[in-house]
Amino acid sequence: MTTLTGSAVLALAVARGFLSAEAAWQAAHVDEDFQAERWGADAEAMARREARWREFEAAGLAVAVGRAL
């Protein structure tokens, strides 16, 4: 999760249940979203981001299951 967001703090926040995976993902991409709004989105970059989101979402689910055990 740290590698996918570039932030150990966000990964820990998800792991500890302080943030949802969606909220952490949005926080990790504030600048990227701003740039896309200002200059336009790049289709290839958005496809990569979507694939990384699916990986992050799966990791978030795995962490949530681990917390529940």
Please determine, for residue 3, whether its predicted confidence score (pLDDT) is greater than 90. yes
Read off the pTM: 0.90
- The count of other CB atoms within 10 Å of the CB of residue 27 is 14
Q: Name the packing angle between helices 43-68 and 8-15 (round to 10°).
A: 40
Residue 41 identity (one-letter amino acid): A
CATH of 2-68, one of 3.30.420.250, 3.40.50.2300, 3.30.559.10, 1.10.3580.10: 1.10.3580.10
pLDDT in tens, 53-64: 999 999 999 999
